[in-house]
Structure 1
Amino acid sequence: MKNLLKMAVAGILASGMASFAAFADDWPNRPVTVIVAAGAGGGTDATARWLAADFEQKFGKPFNIVNRAEGGGIPGITELANATPDGYTIGILFNYAPFRLLGMGNLSSDSYTPIAQYNFDYAAIHVKENSELKSVADVVEKLKADPQSLAIGCGAVCPSSWSSAFSKVLIDNGIDIKVLRWVPSAGAAAGLQELVAGGVDLLTASLPEAAALIDAKEVRPLAVLAPERLKAFPDVPIASEQVPNAAPGGVFRAVAGPAGMPKEIVDKLEAATKEIYDSEQFQKNMSERGFGLRYADRQGLLDWMKQHEADTETVLRAAGAVQ
């Protein structure tokens, strides 16, 4: 009787594994949703659309971008984490660690299936073209004199991916970031429009995202939080030229899915992302817009996510935002 039961169980397991393998082999046999937790026109949206177009070519099925910019992107990356892990919902993941630490969502590296990183951009500090602020040193001096004197746009929720990097500079210069006037927005594109309209005095976002407004002489970057000047923006100083020991920081972008995705599907997506990343057209698109190129496979991305979580906690504890 026991032997018969074992044989029956083995048969069921074998059948299930065969069906699962067939399912993975057949993927994708219908459209795939790509969640972008940012508004149209920003860097996350632009790079996601390039990837989605190439995924469509490679896999022969639509990869449909769905923008979820509300709430600074928290609902979007939460939706990605909660999706069915069948390969038909993937998304673009970026700096998510502040959300859990600030009680805005229980998201960690365990919430996702890492697939591949393709980008890293350094944060920059932007002002209106006619602003009296000429450097990061001016910002630090003004905030030290009166922490409420400037409205600081985060380019998302506060502290966001971009503003977390800037927060570290302020903390290192003895400024209590808890008492500053932080202003959230629905992504960098919306934040930049708020800056131009005069709703904030400065904004943290990447240089590529602000490039059109910089060229139009509506926005002026004070500095970029990078270790050296960027090739695409050689005239923009690095923050450490204006404030001693200003630490570099910024945002990563990566392809990911909900936790528990089938390995066979992840293999396909990882290989496709690497092929796209290495392609002449993708490299050209990224370079022409000034987006930073940085690749990591699924293991490298997972390692980076864990480091991101540890570094973010260090900054937020130093800021007194996390006990």
Structure 2
Amino acid sequence: MSKISTSIMAVGIAAAAFTFAMPAAQADSWPSRPIRMVVGFGAGGGTDIIARLVAQPLSEVLGQPVVVENKPGAGGTIGADTVAKAAKDGYSIFMMNNGHAVSASLYKSLPYQSAKDFAPVSLVATMPLIITANKDLPVADLKALVARAKAEPNKLRFASVGVGSTQHFVGAVFATMAGVQIRHVPYRGTPAAIAATRSGEVELLVEVASPLIGQIKGGELKALAVSSAERYEVLPNVPTVAEAGIKGFDISTWYGLAFPAGTPVDIVNKMNAAINRAVTTDSARKQILDASFIPASNTPSQFAAHLDSEITRWGKVMQEAGVQQQ
């Protein structure tokens, strides 16, 4: 082999070694600048609230600012697409919720793949939904509601924030598992759905817990059951749906962070460790609980498995509920 060929080969090997070393070097120096946490919904909503609650302690753990950036629209898919197409360097992360899993089946076409285009990092919080009733509806508990619904098929109505929402699907799953027929009435947003239930325009409301706490404690709405497998520590006297006799009922909203797919594993693992530290400090845990969320964390592989199972689960629920793709 000529000296020239040998030299070219040596340069090629050196360049390849440098290329393969880049991710490791990148991970070693990460984070060296602010990280943006993209939220696919507007300011003040549940996803935005938990993002800001997590961003503060996460900034302290990482030693770099974690800045929440709202990218609302299209059911959270604009924010998701922003991160899916972002640089794979650990400086853009998406605060997803179970609506991300619902969107995988709800929309005929998405500009990204809901699982494959993301590198799940960790759950950060969960929150149950609550089946509530107009305070004057003459049912004392969920068993009484089921009995009334069976006696009067399709007479009772439940409000949600829209067709294809988690709230809609939870109501549909409840009706199916309870063997009752309850009409779904969609509204544009939580305030409208709450107002309709309080006024008696509809008898029932399925909604995430946080906007209902004050209404329930103030007596404006009647809490019949929480959707999670265990009782909700913010409302410990409200039984679960399963306790009312509908065994196996366990649905909660969840919130978790994910990088774009292809982000170096070392960075994913570093962020996972930082999240675990951030959400388990006494001060952060208290703030999260005070906002009606339940702190949570897991490993990247566990969160990835959770996301896959949720996409499958909500696809089946959508089919059973007869929801048409948008």
TM-score scaled to structure 1, two decimals?
A: 0.82
Q: Please, which moves more after superposition, 265-274 or 240-249?
A: 240-249
Are the structure 2 counterparts of residues 300 and 171 from structure 1 closer, same or farther at C-alpha, using a change threshold of 3 Å? same
Aligned to 1:231: 233
Aligned to 1:198: 196
Are the structure 2 counterparts of residues 41 and 243 from structure 1 closer, same or farther at C-alpha, using a change threshold of 3 Å? farther
- Give the SS at the match of 1:46: helix
Aligned to 2:81: 78
Equivalent runs, 1:41-56 vs 2, <5 Å: 41-56=44-59
Q: Give the whole-Å Cα distance in 1 for the aligned partners of 2:308 and 2:51.
A: 23
Residue 88 (structure 1) aligned to one of 88, 91, 97: 91
Are the structure 2 counterparts of residues 281 and 320 from structure 1 closer, same or farther at C-alpha, using a change threshold of 3 Å? same
Are the structure 2 counterparts of residues 234 and 25 from structure 1 closer, same or farther at C-alpha, using a change threshold of 3 Å? same
Q: Give the whole-Å Cα distance in 2 for the aligned partners of 1:39 and 1:218.
A: 27
Conservation of the 8 A alpha-carbon contact between 1:313 and 1:322: no
Residue 258 (structure 1) aligned to one of 257, 260, 263: 260
Q: Give the whole-Å Cα distance in 2 for the aligned partners of 1:246 and 1:72.
A: 28
Residue 8 (structure 1) aligned to one of 8, 11, 19: 11
Q: Give the whole-Å Cα distance in 1 for the aligned partners of 2:263 and 2:148.
A: 49
CA RMSD of aligned residues (A): 3.2
Q: Please, which moves more after superposition, 262-271 or 283-292?
A: 283-292
Residue 125 (structure 1) aligned to one of 123, 126, 131: 131
Shift of 1:147: 4.3
Per-residue displacement from partner, 1:96-139 (whole Å, max 9, x unpaired)? 22212122535432121111112222221234545667655537
1:294 aligns with 2:278: no
Are the structure 2 counterparts of residues 4 and 318 from structure 1 closer, same or farther at C-alpha, using a change threshold of 3 Å? farther
Shift of 1:255: 1.4
Residue 221 (structure 1) aligned to one of 216, 220, 223: 223
One-letter amino acid of the counterpart of residue 160, structure 2 = G
Count of residues paired in the alignment: 314
Per-residue displacement from partner, 1:48-74 (whole Å, max 9, x unpaired)? 112111122223332111233433323
Shift of 1:301: 0.7
- Structure 2: tracts of 5 or more residues without a match: none
Aligned to 1:28: 31
Q: Give the whole-Å Cα distance in 2 for the aligned partners of 1:165 and 1:52.
A: 29
Q: Give the whole-Å Cα distance in 2 for the aligned partners of 1:243 and 1:210.
A: 24
Identical-pair percentage:
24
Conservation of the 8 A alpha-carbon contact between 1:101 and 1:322: no
Per-residue displacement from partner, 1:202-230 (whole Å, max 9, x unpaired)? 43222234223333444433321133432
- Structure 1: tracts of 5 or more residues without a match: none
Aligned to 2:174: 169
- Give the SS at the match of 1:254: strand
1:276 aligns with 2:281: no
Moved over 6 A (4+): none
1:57 aligns with 2:60: yes
One-letter amino acid of the counterpart of residue 152, structure 1 = A
